[in-house]
């Protein structure tokens, strides 16, 4: 019958033939492991000796477990050497292109490093503070009163350097970390 199916594009006698692999047929069988009868399971099989049903079930479960892929809870993140470079002088290791951020934010730690390197950037103090609201129930708003304009920010990417010109950013004076968060209007 399969020979005719191969010659006639899967049709035998004008009807389509469904070819089911034997592995699928075996996996859908739900009868007794011992005798194959569909009316009962191995635990109620009249042909099993005392304790044999438990042995058969244990063997079948271990056979099933061999085919199950277990995911291990290990961090998949690997540290990269990628970073950002401000004004071609100051290195920033923690750069995030954040699609959920409303504003670009640089921390005071970065501004301290810019000052220590002697790099001149335009910094503006604002009379009305800008509030940024971090995600989280107990998160308090970040109050920022300064903004800065970097002439050149170079981000090292897998596709090569990405240069951002005239990047305006708010300064988080409360954080001494060296971090830069770039928001979607820039991305």
Domain co-membership, 127 together with 49: no
Choose between 94 and 5: higher pLDDT. Answer: 94
| φ/ψ of residue 136, rounded to 5 | 135, 150
| Domain annotation covers residue 167 | yes
My answer on whether 47 and 106 are in the same domain is no
- Number of compact structural domains in the chain: 2
Task: Report whether 132 contacts 142 (CB < 8 A).
Answer: yes
Residue 77 lies in a domain: no
Mean pLDDT, the chain, rounded, equals: 81
Residue 92 Cα to chain centre, angstroms: 23
Check pLDDT > 70 for residue 25. Answer: no
Straight-line distance from the first to the last Cα atom of the chain, in angstroms, rounded to the nearest whole number: 61
Report the alpha-carbon distance of residue 56 to residue 173 in Å, rounded: 68
User: What pLDDT score was predicted for residue 85?
Assistant: 93
Residue 49 placed within a domain: yes
Residue 71 lies in a domain: no
Segments forming the whole domain that contains residue 110 = 84-182
pLDDT digits (tens, 9 = 90+) for 108-166: 999 999 999 999 999 999 999 999 888 777 888 899 999 999 999 999 888 889 999 99
Q: Confirm if 97 and 182 have CB atoms less than 8 A apart.
A: yes
Cα 33–chain centre separation: 41
Nearest Cα neighbor of 171 from 118, 127, 125 is 125
Are 92 and 56 part of one and the same domain?
no
Residue 79 lies in a domain: no
Nearest to 152 by CA among 104, 80, 83, 90: 90
176 and 108 part of one domain: yes
CA distance 153 to 167: 7
Please check whether residue 95 lies inside any domain of the structure. Answer: yes
Please tell me the predicted confidence (pLDDT) of residue 71: 64
Residue 25 falls within a domain, yes or no? yes
Clarify whether residues 34 and 92 are in a common domain.
no
Q: Are residues 54 and 90 in the same domain?
A: no
- Kindly tell me if the per-residue pLDDT of 29 is higher than 80: no
User: Both 99 and 26 in a single domain?
Assistant: no
């Amino acid at each position: 019958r399969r020979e005719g199916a191969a010659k006639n594009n899967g049709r035998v006698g004008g009807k389509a033939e469904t070819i089911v692999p034997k592995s699928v047929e075996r996996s859908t069988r739900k009868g007794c492991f011992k005798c194959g009868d569909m009316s009962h399971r191995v635990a109620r099989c009249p042909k099993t000796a005392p304790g044999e049903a438990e042995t058969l079930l244990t063997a079948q479960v271990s056979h099933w477990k061999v085919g199950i892929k277990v995911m291990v809870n290990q961090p998949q993140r690997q540290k990269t050497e990628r970073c950002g470079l401000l004004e071609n002088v100051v290195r920033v290791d923690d750069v995030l292109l954040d699609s959920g951020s409303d504003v670009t934010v640089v921390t005071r730690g970065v501004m301290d490093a810019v000052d220590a390197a002697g790099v001149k950037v335009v910094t503006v103090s604002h009379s009305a503070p800008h509030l940024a609201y971090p995600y989280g129930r107990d998160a308090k708003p970040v109050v920022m009163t300064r903004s800065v304009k970097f002439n050149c920010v170079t981000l090292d990417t897998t596709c090569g350097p990405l240069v951002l010109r005239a990047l305006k950013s708010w300064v988080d004076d409360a954080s001494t970390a060296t971090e830069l968060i770039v928001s979607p209007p820039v991305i």
